[in-house]
């Protein structure tokens, strides 16, 4: 079915994308129905997600087979790299929207409601009892009183965890390039373990927040930004950990060579990206 | 107030709105002038450099002098337009020194006006203003009523009339504090020169000083749901003395109504006028 | 999918490529940039008609004062859907389709860099629009809060809120993947000798547009995600009571929204920069200046967003800054306009349909640009904002800008795609009918806006009646004119006996004109050798 076009490999036809599209439609259509309280929503969403997973297995499987089959030359490799880089850039911009919301709330909307600048009128006419402070759940106290997480407990630990996972994956990368398989596998595994511990702590933290601090997604703008940012980050860590696991198996199978291991590098980049986002989170969500 | 076949912005009823009109006309004529030059050059080119007339293509692709000129000249033009706009904007931002405050609240789909104070004296006048009954009847789908037949005096007032207008004194600097109760609306009377969004949970302010008595009409200018097109604004500007009389009358009526309401021990409804 | 082209099928015989057999197999699974380009273009045309039909409903209701046809809710639904479909369904996919078809041909690449992903980028779209359009039939109808989706209003919708948001997510995913593909293709797949500064301006415009897409579509995704959580999960991003601010949404939305409007015009600039030199038989004037102008416009587009929000009550400093920054855009745009005129100056012009559309583009887009600059002047915008003056502004830049450029490019490249010439006579009829009617349609809207008619209203005072009726007549006429366009295209693809040459246009230069017409299923499987005389882009020394 597939054939090489001159030097650049151009695959001929693939059924995976259309399966993926059905998967996406099922996922979001199901989610939409579910949010609108239709019983059929959940099963449809489940089918959609299953289709997406099926698509990913199939699609990546094909790519891996082609890659091992030596179909990809340097130029194809470069295309993949650019694809990954720009994908990560798009993710950065996705997080930028939420960071933007956080900064906006902290520097504009909350002080304004508290009477800063021209906002004196807003405060006078609408929210006379409100004085600006951060964290806050707003002049109406949406979600009820809550307490916040200290940055110097679990969050600090999590920072250290992620930072060291950045180091371990770099060591693994060096090992891969040096052809040291054992070191590669150990340090890659370590990276996954660190990631999973991070997630464990994060889950614990959420349980703490909901269970004891009354800090929820509904806790005004603080809760909103807190959980959206850490939540989306956590989802990305989860995804990264899964990708790392897949890569570990591929390393174990010997899919990668010293100078041909785009898959590994792509995931490593992703992991670093997740890492850097966390640093931003730690600084702006927890510490400041 | 809009006229049939009206082509241009009207100068409006305040000095601010007239200056806005000036800024608008300046920008307009600048655009016309640039347009004449650019489109003129294009037309000349299309006439002179046709293959059918035997034109042979030149080879040049650069002309540094020209390129510098058409970068610099627009900058100058922009500065010429920005300068009066900046001055005007600075003046518009100056809301101090007002002698009267009105609080405007947008609702789906009507406006509430509260007369907060008038020359430092607090006022309790507070009413809701919504689309007049005639227009409301005519605007129902398939009502069969000809919109042209809806009139307020001489003015064909279809969709531009309310049951109870906002009454303002002439020659007094009025400050508005504007908010909304449900979704975003925008309070706009073209003759006053500006529109200001009415945002739930937030107060915006703006001001006006009307020179001429008259009836000035406007509309909600931010999509606010199904009847967004049907929440007009009518400002009735009257001489100061007349206004003071009106305000006193309203206050008296308000007080009487309150007394009546308390007597019946029912909560006072917002006076509907 | 009607544009599945028999001419191409014929060619397959002497074109030893393994083109998949079977209709579904070919179009569903394709990884070929030309097939995918065709899919995009056909899809876009379909969406243009659906979105246009909604505009016809709008114009019909506004034909005269009084409510005649639809309920206000439905009117708002039409306005909202019209805009979403035109922007995300018609204009953007059309440009992606053109990019898909032409970029590999223009830079001498065998295909797009990531062909399978290319297929997926396209095939997400029909599903996204299925989701969006099906909302009309759901309880409570489709979204009614305007394409800008401002909360709290947009959250008042019923069933539609979640589906609209998810549809936007899907469109975003599609656009981002498409943009990644285009960047990778342009940066990585150029034939040897095709230096960056020798690429056609169209390729440059797409490179920069793709960057804009990747930078802002995720921001839109973030913004609508916050809408979703505000509605369903109790967050308070856009709720002042909880410390948020409805205006925050507007900032985030327009941080996406303003670059978005340039996403819809930069490729049009690129197209016009191809067509005018061809029919002037003279290389583009100031190639590098053109490229830098596009880059400056793209840069500026990130720092002007709040000019859509002059009446939300920003502090004075903010208003002034956004006014100045916005006005600056006139300068690089002016450079482009002047360079187009200079390209024509001293040329040897002929006026085939693509050129007519390109010239109309330059004039009418500039008029739209003028009203844009007027809108940028804050005190004046206090009057223009949310009136038909703005509606006139953006339809001049979008319809006589983006849409006209797309039409121009269709006439320009159609012979290359299908191997046949279109009917010049009917092309010209389409042009004149469109260009007159579109001005009847949108020019009076300036007057309406200045006289004080707000936008997004289903009914109006009788003073606005005359110009609305004229506008509506122009609207029906313009809509009907587009039927001619479809006729011309179908005729050219299936019935025209007039075979196109390889070069197609006498004055055409560039790699895409060195492959046969119709372009074979696979081109440049071996990178072409580039000679300066076919290159003809950039500052080539002759
Ligand atoms: C393709 C789409 C497109 C393009 C290219 C533009 C181009 C511009 N737009 Fe437009 N705009 C929209 C699409 C577009 N816009 C849309 C869709 C909306 C409404 C959204 C909504 O609310 O739904 C909108 C709304 C909009 C507003 C908000 C209006 C309001 O709601 O109150 C403003 C305000 O500043 C604005 C400004 C501009 C400016 C300054 C340009 C400039 O880029 C124009 C530059 C071009 C020229 C100026 C002409 C050529 C130049 C010369 C010949 C040089 C010399 C000229 C001078 C010195 C003046 N636009
Ligand atoms: C690329 C974008 C794009 C395009 C191409 C168009 C094209 C058109 N637009 Fe649109 N429009 C927008 C983007 C666009 N618009 C946006 C962003 C808004 C703002 C929305 C908002 O406020 O949220 C808007 C809003 C808008 C309004 C204001 C609505 C309101 O404020 O309530 C109006 C009113 O006249 C209008 C009209 C038209 C018309 C007549 C066309 C025509 O050019 C369409 C022509 C095409 C066809 C008609 C289809 C083809 C032909 C047929 C289907 C054959 C049948 C025809 C007949 C029987 C006559 N548009
Ligand atoms: Cu209130 Cu529109
Ligand atoms: Cu803009």
Instruction: Report pLDDT digits (tens) over C349-374.
Output: 999 999 999 999 999 999 999 999 99
Tokens for C480, please give them. Answer: 């009907």
Select the more confidently predicted residue: C521 or A259: C521
Q: Does residue A6 lie in a domain region? A: no
| Cα A10 from Cα A33, distance rounded (Å) | 39
Q: Does residue A183 lie in a domain region? A: yes
Taking only the tens place, the pLDDT of each residue in B125-169 is 999 999 999 899 889 988 888 888 888 888 898 999 999 999 999
Same domain, A59 and A139: no
Taking only the tens place, the pLDDT of each residue in C218-267 is 999 999 999 999 999 999 999 999 999 999 999 999 999 999 999 999 99
How confident is the model at residue A245, as a pLDDT? 94
**Active-site residue C395, yes or no?**
no
The reply to whether A142 touches chain B by the CB within 8 Å rule is no
Tally A–B CB contacts below 8 A: 22
Q: Per-residue confidence at B273, pLDDT binned at 50, 70, 90? A: very low
The reply to whether B144 touches chain A by the CB within 8 Å rule is no
CB contact under 8 A, C252 and A100: yes
Same domain, A24 and A48: yes
Tokens for B13, please give them. Answer: 């009823």
| Cα A258 from Cα A185, distance rounded (Å) | 14
Q: Does residue A8 lie in a domain region? A: no
Q: Does residue A1 lie in a domain region? A: no
Q: Per-residue confidence at C21, pLDDT binned at 50, 70, 90? A: low
Count CB neighbours of C265 within 10 A. 24
Residues 6 or more apart from C531 whose CB is under 8 A from it?
Answer: none
Q: C-alpha dihedral over B249, B255, B259, B262, to 10 degrees?
A: 140
| Cα C283 from Cα C523, distance rounded (Å) | 25
Q: Is the model's pLDDT at C19 over the cut of 60?
A: no
Count CB neighbours of C318 within 10 A. 15
Q: Is the model's pLDDT at C3 over the cut of 50?
A: no
Q: Does residue A29 lie in a domain region? A: yes
Same domain, A31 and A141: no
User: Which secondary-structure segment (H or E) carries A145?
Assistant: none
Q: Is the model's pLDDT at C493 over the cut of 70?
A: yes
Q: What is the CATH number of the domain that holds A241?
A: 1.20.120.80
Same domain, A54 and A109: no
Q: Per-residue confidence at C492, pLDDT binned at 50, 70, 90? A: very high
Helix (H, G, I), strand (E, B) or coil at B174: strand
**Active-site residue C381, yes or no?**
no
**Active-site residue C82, yes or no?**
yes
The reply to whether B37 touches chain C by the CB within 8 Å rule is no
How confident is the model at residue C167, as a pLDDT? 95
Tally A–C CB contacts below 8 A: 245
Buried b (16+ CB within 10 A) or exposed e, A39-71: eebeebbebbbebbeebeeebbeebeeebbeee
Same domain, A49 and A155: no
Q: Is the model's pLDDT at C12 over the cut of 50?
A: no
Same domain, A116 and A204: yes
Taking only the tens place, the pLDDT of each residue in B158-210 is 999 999 999 999 999 999 999 999 999 999 999 999 999 999 999 999 999 99
In short, whether C83's Cβ falls inside 6 Å of ligand 2 is yes
How confident is the model at residue B35, as a pLDDT? 96
Same domain, A134 and A196: yes
The answer to whether B237 and B168 are in contact (CB under 8 A) is yes
How confident is the model at residue B141, as a pLDDT? 87
Q: Is the model's pLDDT at C10 over the cut of 80?
A: no
For residues B35-40, give the mean pLDDT: 96
CA distance A35 to chain C (A): 7
CA–CA distances in Å: residue C293 to residues B112, B216, C96, C208, C433: 49, 45, 21, 11, 32
In short, whether C82's Cβ falls inside 6 Å of ligand 2 is yes
Among residues C260, C377, C264, the alpha carbon closest in space to that of C326 is found at C377
Q: Does residue A134 lie in a domain region? A: yes
The structure tokens 């997600």 sit at: A49
Taking only the tens place, the pLDDT of each residue in A207-242 is 999 999 999 999 999 999 999 999 999 999 999 999
How confident is the model at residue A2, as a pLDDT? 36
Q: Does residue A144 lie in a domain region? A: yes
Q: Does residue A158 lie in a domain region? A: yes
Query: Neighbouring chains of C at 3+ CB pairs within 8 Å?
Result: A, B
CB contact under 8 A, B177 and A121: yes
Q: B174-180 and B100-107: which strand pairing?
A: parallel
CA–CA distances in Å: residue A23 to residues B202, C52, C129, C217: 42, 30, 15, 21
Q: Is the model's pLDDT at C288 over the cut of 80?
A: yes
Question: What is the CA(C538)–ligand 1 centre distance, in A?
Answer: 28
Most confident of A81-90, A147-156, B8-17: A81-90
| Cα C192 from Cα A120, distance rounded (Å) | 64
Taking only the tens place, the pLDDT of each residue in C26-68 is 888 999 999 999 999 999 999 999 999 999 999 999 999 988 8
- Give me the number of domains chain A comprises: 2
| Cα B119 from Cα B117, distance rounded (Å) | 7
| Cα B36 from Cα B53, distance rounded (Å) | 25
How confident is the model at residue B269, as a pLDDT? 39
Among residues A212, A227, A210, the alpha carbon closest in space to that of A281 is found at A227
Question: What is the CA(B137)–ligand 1 centre distance, in A?
Answer: 39
Q: Per-residue confidence at C542, pLDDT binned at 50, 70, 90? A: very low
| Cα C65 from Cα C461, distance rounded (Å) | 7
Shortest-distance Cα residue to atom 35 of ligand 1 = C376
Same domain, A67 and A84: no
First to last CA, chain B: 24
How confident is the model at residue C2, as a pLDDT? 36
Average pLDDT, chain C: 91
| Cα C423 from Cα C352, distance rounded (Å) | 11
Residues 40-59 of A with CB under 8 A from C: 59
Select the more confidently predicted residue: B55 or B192: B192
Cis peptide before B109 (omega within 30 of 0): yes
Same domain, A62 and A204: no
For residues C103-109, give the mean pLDDT: 93
Same domain, A67 and A93: no
| Cα B23 from Cα B88, distance rounded (Å) | 9
How confident is the model at residue B262, as a pLDDT? 62
Domain range for A66: 13-71
Domain boundary among A43, A71, A99: A71
Query: Neighbouring chains of A at 3+ CB pairs within 8 Å?
Result: B, C
Here the contacts of A266-269 (C-beta below 8 Å, separation 24 or greater) are A266/A80, A266/A81, A266/A84, A267/A240, A267/A243, A268/A169, A268/A170, A268/A173, A269/A84, A269/A85, A269/A88
**Active-site residue C422, yes or no?**
no
How confident is the model at residue B259, as a pLDDT? 78
Residue A257 pairs with which residues in a beta bridge? Answer: A260
| Cα C480 from Cα C442, distance rounded (Å) | 16
For residues C67-83, give the mean pLDDT: 93
User: What is the per-residue DSSP string for A107-124?
Assistant: IIIHHHHTT-GGGHHHHH
For residues B65-89, give the mean pLDDT: 93
Buried b (16+ CB within 10 A) or exposed e, B195-215: bbbbbbbbbbbbbbbbeebeb
Question: What is the CA(C471)–ligand 3 centre distance, in A?
Answer: 24
Q: Is the model's pLDDT at C533 over the cut of 90?
A: no
Same domain, A38 and A146: no
For residues A57-65, give the mean pLDDT: 90
Same domain, A130 and A245: yes
The region that residue C538 occupies, defined by phi over 0 for left and psi between -120 and 50 for alpha, beta otherwise, is left
Here the contacts of C53-59 (C-beta below 8 Å, separation 24 or greater) are C53/C479, C54/C78, C54/C79, C54/C81, C54/C82, C54/C85, C55/C82, C55/C86, C55/C475, C55/C479, C56/C475, C56/C476, C56/C479, C58/C82, C59/C471, C59/C472, C59/C475, C59/C476
Domain boundary among A71, A94, A115: A71
Domains and CATH numbers, chain C: 7-531 (1.20.210.10)
Q: Per-residue confidence at C192, pLDDT binned at 50, 70, 90? A: confident
CB contact under 8 A, B159 and C283: no
Q: Per-residue confidence at C16, pLDDT binned at 50, 70, 90? A: very low
Select the more confidently predicted residue: A74 or B74: B74
Taking only the tens place, the pLDDT of each residue in C404-463 is 999 999 999 999 999 999 999 999 999 999 999 999 999 999 999 999 999 999 999 999
| Cα C242 from Cα A99, distance rounded (Å) | 18
Taking only the tens place, the pLDDT of each residue in C494-520 is 999 999 999 899 888 889 999 998 999
Q: Is the model's pLDDT at A1 over the cut of 50?
A: no
Helix (H, G, I), strand (E, B) or coil at C118: helix
Q: Per-residue confidence at C534, pLDDT binned at 50, 70, 90? A: low
Q: C-alpha dihedral over B57, B63, B65, B71, to 10 degrees?
A: 100
How confident is the model at residue C540, as a pLDDT? 53
Q: How many helices (H) and strands (E) does chain A have?
A: 9, 2
Domain boundary among A22, A50, A71: A71
């Amino acid at each position: 079915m597939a054939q090489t076009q001159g030097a650049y490999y151009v695959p001929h036809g693939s059924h995976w994308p259309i399966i993926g599209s059905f998967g996406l439609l099922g996922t979001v259509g199901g989610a939409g129905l579910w949010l609108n309280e239709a019983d059929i929503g959940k099963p449809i969403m489940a089918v959609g997600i299953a289709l997406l997973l099926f698509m990913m297995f199939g699609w990546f499987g094909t790519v891996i087979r082609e890659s091992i089959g030596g179909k990809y030359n340097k130029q194809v490799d470069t295309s993949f790299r650019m694809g990954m880089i720009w994908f990560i850039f798009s993710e950065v911009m996705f997080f930028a929207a939420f960071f933007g919301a956080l900064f906006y709330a902290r520097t504009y909307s909350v002080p304004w409601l508290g009477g800063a600048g021209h906002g004196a009128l807003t405060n006078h006419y609408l929210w006379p009892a409100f004085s600006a402070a951060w964290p806050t759940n707003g002049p109406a106290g949406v979600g009820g009183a809550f307490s916040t997480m200290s940055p110097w407990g679990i969050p600090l630990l999590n920072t250290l965890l992620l930072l060291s996972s950045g180091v371990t994956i770099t060591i693994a990368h060096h090992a891969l390039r040096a052809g040291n398989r054992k070191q590669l596998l150990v340090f890659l595994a370590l990276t996954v373990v660190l990631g999973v511990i991070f997630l464990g702590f994060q889950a614990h933290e959420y349980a703490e927040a909901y269970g004891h601090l009354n800090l929820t997604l509904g806790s005004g703008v603080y809760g909103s930004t807190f959980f959206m940012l850490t939540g989306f980050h956590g989802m990305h860590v989860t995804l990264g950990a899964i990708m790392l696991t897949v890569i570990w198996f591929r390393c174990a199978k010997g899919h990668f060579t010293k100078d041909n291991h785009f898959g590994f590098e792509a995931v490593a980049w992703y992991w670093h990206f997740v890492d850097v986002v966390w640093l931003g989170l730690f600084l702006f969500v927890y510490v400041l | 107030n809009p006229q049939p076949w009206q082509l241009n912005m009207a100068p409006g009823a305040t000095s601010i709105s007239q200056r806005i009109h000036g800024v608008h006309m300046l920008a307009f004529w600048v655009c016309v002038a640039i347009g004449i030059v650019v489109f003129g050059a294009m037309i000349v080119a299309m006439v002179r450099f046709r293959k059918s007339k035997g034109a042979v293509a030149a080879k040049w692709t650069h002309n540094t002098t020209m390129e510098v000129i058409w970068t610099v000249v627009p900058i100058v033009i922009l500065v010429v337009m920005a300068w009066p706009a900046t001055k005007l904007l600075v003046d518009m931002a100056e809301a101090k020194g007002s002698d009267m405050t009105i609080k405007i609240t947008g609702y789906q789909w009507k406006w509430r006006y509260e007369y907060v104070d008038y020359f430092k004296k607090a006022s309790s006048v507070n009413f809701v203003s919504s689309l007049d009954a005639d227009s409301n009847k005519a605007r129902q789908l398939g009502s069969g009523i000809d919109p042209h037949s809806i009139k307020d005096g001489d003015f064909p007032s279809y969709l531009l009339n309310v049951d109870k207008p906002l009454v303002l004194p002439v020659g007094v600097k009025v400050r508005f504090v504007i908010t909304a109760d449900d979704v975003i609306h925008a309070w706009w009377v073209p003759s006053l020169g500006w529109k200001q969004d009415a945002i739930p949970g937030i107060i915006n302010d703006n001001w006006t000083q009307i020179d001429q008595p008259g009836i000035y009409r406007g509309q909600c200018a931010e999509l606010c749901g199904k009847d967004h097109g049907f929440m007009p604004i009518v400002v009735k500007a009257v001489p100061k003395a007349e206004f003071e009389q009106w305000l006193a009358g309203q206050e008296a009526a308000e007080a009487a109504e309150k007394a009546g309401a308390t007597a019946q021990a029912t909560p006072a409804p917002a006076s509907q006028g | 999918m009607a544009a599945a082209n028999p001419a191409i099928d014929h060619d397959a015989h002497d074109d030893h490529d393994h083109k998949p057999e079977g209709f579904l197999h070919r179009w569903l699974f394709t990884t070929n940039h030309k097939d995918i380009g065709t899919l995009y273009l056909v899809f876009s045309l379909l969406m243009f008609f659906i979105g246009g039909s909604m505009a016809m409903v709008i114009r019909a209701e506004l034909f005269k004062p009084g409510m005649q046809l639809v309920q206000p809710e439905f009117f708002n639904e039409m306005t909202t859907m019209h805009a979403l479909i035109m922007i995300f369904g018609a204009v953007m996919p059309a440009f992606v389709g053109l990019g898909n078809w032409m970029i590999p041909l223009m830079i001498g690449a065998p295909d797009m860099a990531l062909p399978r992903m290319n297929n997926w980028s396209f095939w997400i779209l029909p599903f996204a629009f299925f989701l969006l359009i099906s909302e009309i039939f759901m309880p409570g109808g489709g979204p009614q809060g305007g394409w800008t989706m401002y909360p709290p209003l947009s959250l008042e919708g019923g069933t539609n809120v979640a589906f609209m948001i998810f549809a936007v997510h899907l469109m975003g995913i599609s656009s981002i993947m498409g943009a990644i593909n285009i960047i990778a293709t342009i940066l990585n797949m150029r034939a040897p000798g095709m230096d960056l500064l020798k690429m056609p301006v169209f390729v440059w415009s797409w490179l920069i547009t793709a960057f804009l897409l990747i930078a802002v579509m995720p921001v839109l995704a973030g913004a609508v995600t916050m809408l979703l959580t505000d509605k369903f999960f109790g967050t308070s991003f856009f709720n002042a009571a909880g410390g948020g601010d409805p205006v925050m949404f507007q900032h985030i939305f327009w941080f996406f929204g303003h670059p978005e409007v340039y996403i819809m015009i930069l490729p049009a600039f690129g197209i016009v920069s191809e067509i005018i030199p061809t029919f002037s038989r003279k290389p583009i004037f100031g190639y590098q200046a053109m490229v830098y102008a596009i880059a400056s416009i793209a840069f500026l587009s990130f720092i002007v967003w709040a000019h859509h929000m002059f009446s939300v009550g920003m502090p004075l400093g903010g208003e002034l800054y956004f006014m100045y920054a916005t006005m600056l855009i006139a300068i690089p745009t002016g450079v482009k306009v002047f360079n187009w005129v200079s390209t024509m100056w001293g040329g040897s012009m002929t006026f085939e349909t693509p050129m007519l559309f390109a010239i109309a583009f330059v004039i009418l887009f500039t008029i739209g640009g003028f009203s844009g600059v007027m809108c940028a002047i804050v005190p004046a915008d206090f009057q223009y904002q949310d009136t038909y003056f703005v509606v006139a502004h953006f339809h001049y830049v979008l319809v006589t800008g983006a849409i006209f450029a797309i039409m121009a490019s269709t006439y320009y490249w159609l012979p290359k795609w299908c191997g046949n010439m279109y009917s010049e006579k009917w092309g010209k009829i389409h042009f004149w009918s469109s260009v007159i009617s579109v001005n009847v349609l949108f020019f009076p809207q300036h007057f309406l806006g200045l006289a004080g008619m707000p936008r997004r209203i289903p009914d109006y005072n009788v003073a606005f009646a005359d110009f609305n009726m004229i506008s509506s007549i122009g609207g029906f006429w313009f809509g009907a004119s587009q039927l001619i366009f479809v006729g011309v295209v179908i005729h050219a693809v299936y019935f025209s006996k007039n075979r196109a040459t390889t070069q197609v246009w006498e004055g055409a230069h560039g790699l895409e004109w060195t492959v046969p017409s119709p372009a074979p299923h696979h081109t440049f499987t071996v990178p072409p050798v580039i000679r300066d005389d076919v290159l003809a882009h950039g500052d080539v020394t002759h």
